[in-house]
Structure 1
Amino acid sequence: MTLKQVQAFLAVAASGNFADAAQAMFLSQPALSLIIKAFEEELGGKLFLRSTRRVELTAEGEAFLPRARELLAHWHSTTEDLRLRMALKKGKIAVAAMPYFAATALPSLLKRFKRSYPDLQIEIHDVVAEKVVELVQAGSIELGITFEPTALNGLEFAPLYRDRFVAVLPADYQTSGNRISWRELLTSDFITLQHPSGIRSSIEAELAKEGIEFTVAYDCHQLATIGQLVANDFGVAVIPSLCSKQMNDLGLKCLPITEPVIEKSVGLLSRPKNLLSVAAQAMYELALKSYGSDWPPQD
């Protein structure tokens, strides 16, 4: 059954003759007759009783008439839905982001996106870096924002910026300069995130390369908790520099770390771009466009 066959059936049923129905469909009468004939042959029976004066529905045609109207209405609503989605007037996009990015840079990016596409719904998953990769690989999320994975396994990664980790220190912490080494930092109790945090994994991997051993005094799930622990003199911590403002607001100071310097690329993780929905492509392009020396983008 094709859309044209359903439209032809409804046109003949409404007008009661082939001439008027053909004119309504902008077809010749022989062309319309062939469409109806082929339709009836496919169905295995007659839909119309033809006479010299009028065309009437058979019992089967009467039974099909309300269904045909439903089919056409459903077709129109479906095509309209698709048009709205293609025009970014309707739809939903799901984004997964590491918690530290979700709490700092993501709101600004989403605000820009909503200004351009106010009718789109946005679903946010703030999960650890490893879970971002899992969700994109599983296809349940189109766009992820995370550290660059060691293996892409068919996915694509578009870097947004490189984040350099910094030390978080109590306001009264005394240092010899405007930066601090790892060995000096680790003379204090160390606070960090629990596994499977990507921040924790990056710290461990880089320090292992340098042969630096460290003991974790406190580990927790949230960066906000780390900030409170440092503010209450439980120890020191290391975080991505993107979170520095969050820590400064608590009255803490953030310093660059040396020996080693830890940097990680943060970017967009997705399937190949041509497989993304129109909404996901729009978010992808906006994120790349928003990147700059003033990252995160200002409202």
Structure 2
Amino acid sequence: MTVKQLRAFVAVAKTRSFTEACSQIHISQPALSVAIKNLEDALGGPLLSRTTRTLALTPEGEAFLPTAQRLLAELDEALEEMHNRFALFRGKVAIAAMPFFASSCLPDVLLKFRAHHPHINLTVHDVIAEDVIDMVRTGRVEVGIAFDPGEAEDLVFQKLYTDRFMAVIPRQHALNTKAEITGADILPNDFIVLQRPSSVRLLVDARLEQEGLHISPQLETHQLTTIGQMVSKGLGISIMPSLCEAQMLELGAVCKPLSSPVISHDVGIITRRRYPLSTAAREMIINLQGLKLDVLQC
């Protein structure tokens, strides 16, 4: 049974005329006759009763007509749905992004995306970098924004920019007079960090140790925002990605360039290797890549 055969049968059943049915579905009368005959053979008996003057449905044809109409309607709906998805008139994209990216740069990307594709449903998960990678890896989201996960056979990383880390200090602190902060400047102060196994924490620890600086944290937490609040209250000093600067300033902390050691990490788009992306997800990635030149100013 084929779609062509179903359309031929429904057209004849509705018009009760081979001539009108041919005109309606744009095929020749011999082709229409063959389509009806093949459908009847597939089903096992006649659907139409033909005489020289009349054309009617057999009882079996009457019983089959609603089914044929439903199948064609469902097919048309499916075709329209897929057309809308490929044309970005409909669909959805799930994204996971590190909180400081999700709250600073991502809204601009989403605003531009929604302006051109208002009917695409967007879901954003703002989670730590490790969870971003896990959500992409397990297929819970199509697109992730996080630090470079390193060598991973199942993931693809597309670099957006390199984030150089900064020192975050309380507003009323003696280090505010310095243009740059060093690890040695931080050493005598209470140090606030993310809890392990955060990739930010691991990177900061590794770079400090490479410089021979063994700084024991006095306070640890799960969220960079919480660290910013602690710093702004004068509880200590921290090191965090520069993309957090606007958020830290809003919380009342002061941000200074960090030197010796210089700490940096690539930030980019993470997707699953060997899994094709939806049209909407590909369009979202194009929008993210378009932010490349502006990202350090967001």
**Which range, TM-score by smaller chain?**
over 0.9
Q: Report how many residues are paired.
A: 297
Could you tell me which residue of structure 1 aligns to residue 118 of structure 2?
Answer: 118
Output one character per residue of 1:152-177: Cα deviation in whole Å (capped at 9) or x when no partner.
Answer: 32322111111011110011222373
**In structure 1, C-alpha distance between the alignment counterparts of 2:208 and 2:3, rounded to whole Å:** 65
Q: Which ranges in structure 1 are unaligned for 5 or more consecutive residues?
A: none
Within the alignment, does 1:31 sit opposite 2:44 as a pair? no
User: Are the counterparts in 1 of residues 168 and 239 from structure 2 also a CA contact under 8 Å?
Assistant: yes
Instruction: Tell me, yes or no, if the aligned pair for 1:108 and 1:296 is still in contact at 8 Å.
Output: no
| Range that drifts further, 260-269 or 63-72 | 63-72
Superposition deviation, residue 18 in structure 1: 2.1
Deviation at 1:211, TM superposition (A): 4.1
Q: Which amino acid aligns with 1:60?
A: E
8 Å contact 2:89–2:120 — kept in the other structure? Answer: yes
Matched with 1:240 is 241
The offset of 1:212, in angstroms, is 3.0
- 1:149 and 2:173 aligned: no
Question: 1:95: how far off?
Answer: 0.6
Are the aligned partners of 2:187 and 2:215 in contact in 1 as well (CA < 8 Å)?
yes
Q: Deviations over 1:224-253 (max 9, x none)?
A: 211111111111111110111211223321
**Whole-angstrom distance in 2 between the partners of 1:95 and 1:75:** 30
8 Å CA contact retained: 1:97, 1:126: yes
- 1:93·1:123 contact (CA, 8 Å) conserved in 2? yes
Name the structure 1 match of 2:96: 96
Distance in 1 between residues matched to 2:227 and 2:146, nearest whole Å: 20
Does the residue aligned with 1:22 lie in a helix, a strand or coil?
A: helix
> Which residue is 2:279 aligned to?
278
Which runs of structure 1 show a deviation greater than 6 angstroms over 4 or more consecutive aligned residues? none
Pairwise mapping of residues 193-208 of structure 1 onto structure 2 (< 5 A)?
193-208=194-209
Residue matched to 1:252? 253
Contact 2:187 2:213 in 1 (8 A): no
Q: CA deviation at 1:273?
A: 9.4
Aligned 8 A contact 1:291 1:297 in 2: no
Give 1:9 deviation, angstroms. 0.9
* Match runs of 1:2-151 below 5 Å: 2-151=2-151
Q: For each residue in 1:21-62, what CA deviation from the matched residue of structure 2 results, as whole angstroms up to 9, or x when unmatched?
A: 222222111111111111121222222222222222222211
Question: What RMSD over aligned residues (CA atoms) do the two structures have, in Å?
Answer: 1.9
**Equivalent AA in structure 2 for residue 203 of structure 1:** V
**Counterpart code for 2:225:** A
Q: 1:208/1:58 Cα in 2 relative to 1: closer, same or farther (>3 Å)? A: farther
CA distance in 2, matches of 1:288, 1:274: 20
> Identity of aligned pairs, percent?
42
SS of structure 2 residue aligned to 1:249:
helix
Distance 2:149 2:77 in 1: 42
Contact 2:192 2:220 in 1 (8 A): yes
Higher mean displacement: 44-53 or 229-238:
44-53
Please give the alpha-carbon distance, in whole angstroms, between the structure 1 residues aligned to 2:118 and 2:296: 21
Query: Aligned equivalents of 2:296 and 2:45: distance in 1?
Result: 67
* Cα distance between partner residues in 2 of 1:281 and 1:202: 31
User: SS where residue 295 of structure 2 aligns?
Assistant: coil
Distance 2:275 2:220 in 1: 41
Stretches of structure 2 lacking an aligned partner (at least 5 in a row): none
3-state SS of 2:124 partner: strand
Other structure's SS at 1:63 match? helix
1:49–1:56 Cα contact (<8 Å) kept: yes
Alignment-mate amino acid for residue 225 of structure 1: T
Q: Residues 211 and 39 (structure 1 numbering): CA distance in 2 closer, same or farther, change over 3 Å?
A: farther
Q: Is the 8 A contact 1:88 1:279 kept in 2?
A: yes
Does the 8 Å CA contact 1:290/1:297 hold for their aligned counterparts? no
TM-score, normalised relative to structure 2: 0.93
Amino acid at match of 1:46: P
Normalising by structure 1, what TM-score? 0.93
In the alignment, the residues of structure 2 paired with residue 118 and residue 64 of structure 1 have an alpha-carbon distance, to the nearest angstrom, of 41
DSSP 3-state at the match of 2:61: helix
3-state SS of 1:103 partner = helix
User: 8 Å contact 2:153–2:273 — kept in the other structure?
Assistant: no
Q: CA deviation at 1:186?
A: 2.5
Q: Secondary structure at the match of 2:251?
A: coil
